[in-house]
Amino acid sequence: MDFTADQLLQYNGADPSKPIYVAIKGRVFDVTTGKSFYGPGGSYVMFAGKDASRALAKMSKNDEDITCSLHGLTEKEIGVLDDWEKKFEAKYPVVGRVVLKIETFISILFMATRNSVFTNPKPCKHLADYKLRHGLSGYKSLQKWLKTFPNGKTSIKMCEKKMPKCSFCSGIHQGRLFLCLICPSVSCSDHTLLHSQSENGHDIAVYDLDFDKVVVARNIMDMPSKTRDSVVDDLMRRSSKRRRFNSVVDLDLKRSKFFVWMRNRRAKSCYPLGLRGLNNLGSTCFMNSILQALLHAPPFRNYFLSERHDRETCRKRSSDQSCVACDTGVIFSAVYSGDRAPYSPAQFLYSWWQHSANLASYEQQDAHEFFISVLDGIHEREGKERYPNKDNGDCQCIAHRVFSGMLRSDLTCTTCGFTSTTYDPCVDISLNMDTSNFSSVDVANKSVRPNEDTGRSTLLACLDLFTRPERLGSDQKLYCQNCQEKRDSLKQMSIKRLPLVLSLHIKRFEHSSLRRTSRKIDWHLKFPFSLDMTPYLSPSIVRNRFGNRIFGFESDEADISAEFEIFAVVTHSGMLDSGHYVTYLRLQNQWYKCDDAWINEVDETVVRASQCYMIFYVQKMLYYKANEDLSCTPMPARRDPFVPIAGCC
């Protein structure tokens, strides 16, 4: 069906009897099922009944960008638009196309011509000399490689990509290949020396299959030792963001010992199994940081490595091709395969976008919000389909069996002392930072890192603050069943049931609805590596409230340990809108820094000084069980390493 712009506008959600349409690149999609986003009051209501191509490409909600014109968009923005189109194709049906009126088309063409930034460059004298000597034959041979797009941009056609092979043995190698800087020769490590010896003056360079990183070997080796060391240190410092822990330099050259020494000086040759970098796919450090923590949560890891989530069965059970749980299992298989090259979780990112459409963008997201969303995505497939009649508190999906605990909330009437109790399941605990040890200046600035003299905020103080009785304000009076009217009351939180993996979220981002401002809290937080949660359990809190009198508690979960060991810390550095997430992992009592694709060992003092945002603890028994040496060999696919623990199996 063909629509004019005026006809398309009639399907903007204003008439409840009509569907809601949104056009992308001239194709009209029926987005009625996404009414919460595109309908009245939705986040993207401004797109309804219009062609939102330019706005989606620029990730903009401005009215002037809601148009079909693609003129002036960068290649990156065109790529963003293509991704949006794929998402719409996967989720919404196509019902027609938009037909532009001739006057509209001429207007767009006129504006594009008037505002065109594509001007002819000044003539080049070198090209003019070439044409005089050789004619136009060279130019004509280039024409077949040029491609012009409708928006006026010209680019070079990409030739068919082939796997690089050694010119001598024609073999495809998984390791590094070597390029000649003079001729197009490519050689493997067995034949690199042969080429450099047979062709006088041909320099050899290392070809990294992943990053196209080229280092001229001979020129560096011929430098004086002092100059060479300074140049190498400078190169390594500038390329530290691209260094990977497994980049073993396996050169069959006479001087290769220098490169091996240079690499061994900065990293160990063998890290624990499962320690693998994750490539940043465009502001996805928030995702990589949480995935690293999930990949090393012992009971969560054991579940997926033992293939408890059967991907084939899952696909047969549901028509939805994207599954967060399935793609989580794929990441586990890849990370624990023994391959050390950084992994790109692109399919997982797409599945998460499908599950959380409101967060699907190339912008930085909150790591804590992503953590909750991922567990919800796993629960949606594992819990709701397998155990449809159970709520989150009793759900047996792996997300809740590992991370779910139970909070207890006691409301006590200050007049008669009557207490009402409610229980709420949770997968994490959000803690406010305790400021009792800070001066008024520190609290006002919120950017001062305290020292030993001024005191510092501690995790234990935050937990004390979380379980401390809080007097509700006069505007929060609650109905007392005993007094039969609204009364002032005290609220106190405690932990009824501990999870196997305890995730603590430190509230570092403040949002003021009155001032309409947001800011980050940069206070330093001291946290222990071993944590005893006994003082924060409901029995301890209630006994302290009544003077340590002995009470009988049903289901005290005596078989669940209250002693935890830290295994992951997610940190946030930078400002609110331009920060970066990094994860520190504790494996076999050694700390490792996971910064997207780059992993290296760090001292525990670095971890203690970091600006923690989420802290992950696991029950002490599971921590020491997980620290048993897994060796540096891949884990068999069918091995069942899931440890039977009360409340988990």
Round to whole Å and give the CA distance between 516 and 93: 38
The owner of tokens 């549901």 is 318
The C-alpha angle 591, 588, 568, rounded to 5 degrees, equals 45
Round to whole Å and give the CA distance between 449 and 456: 8
Structure-block tokens of residue 78: 């065109």
Round to whole Å and give the CA distance between 493 and 468: 7
The alpha carbon of residue 76 and the mean position of all alpha carbons in its chain are separated, in whole angstroms, by 20
Round to whole Å and give the CA distance between 337 and 633: 8
Structure-block tokens of residue 487: 């009364």
DSSP 415: T
SS3 176: coil
- Residue 96: how many other CB atoms lie within 10 Å: 17
HSE-CB at 220 with a 13 A cutoff on CA atoms is 20
Phi and psi for 509 in degrees, rounded to 5? -115, 120
Structure-block tokens of residue 414: 């200050």
Helices (H), 387-439: 398-403
Tell me how far CA of residue 38 lies from CA of 82, 95, 190, 249, 599, in angstroms: 20, 17, 60, 53, 42
Round to whole Å and give the CA distance between 283 and 364: 5
Round to whole Å and give the CA distance between 251 and 248: 9
Q: Which candidate, 525, 516, 551, 527, places its Cα nearest to that of 537?
A: 551
Measured in Å, how far apart are the chain's first and last C-alpha atoms? Answer: 55
Asked whether the beta carbons of 95 and 1 are under 8 A apart, the reply is: yes
- Residue 93: how many other CB atoms lie within 10 Å: 12
In DSSP notation, 523-536 reads --EE--SEEE-GGG
Contacts of 223 (CB under 8 A, 6+ apart): 231
Structure-block tokens of residue 407: 């909070």
Helix (H) / strand (E) containing 198: helix 192-198
Round to whole Å and give the CA distance between 393 and 377: 16
Round to whole Å and give the CA distance between 428 and 188: 51
Q: Per residue in 274-298, is it b (16+ CB within 10 Å) or e — as a string?
A: bbbbbbbbeebbbbbbbbbbbbbbb
- Residues designated catalytic: 285, 580
Beta bridge partner(s), residue 156: 146
Structure-block tokens of residue 448: 């001062």
SS3 516: coil
Strand bridging mode 580-587 / 612-619 = unpaired
Contacts of 464 (CB under 8 A, 6+ apart): 434
Round to whole Å and give the CA distance between 503 and 402: 10
Q: What is the largest CA-CA distance in the chain?
A: 104
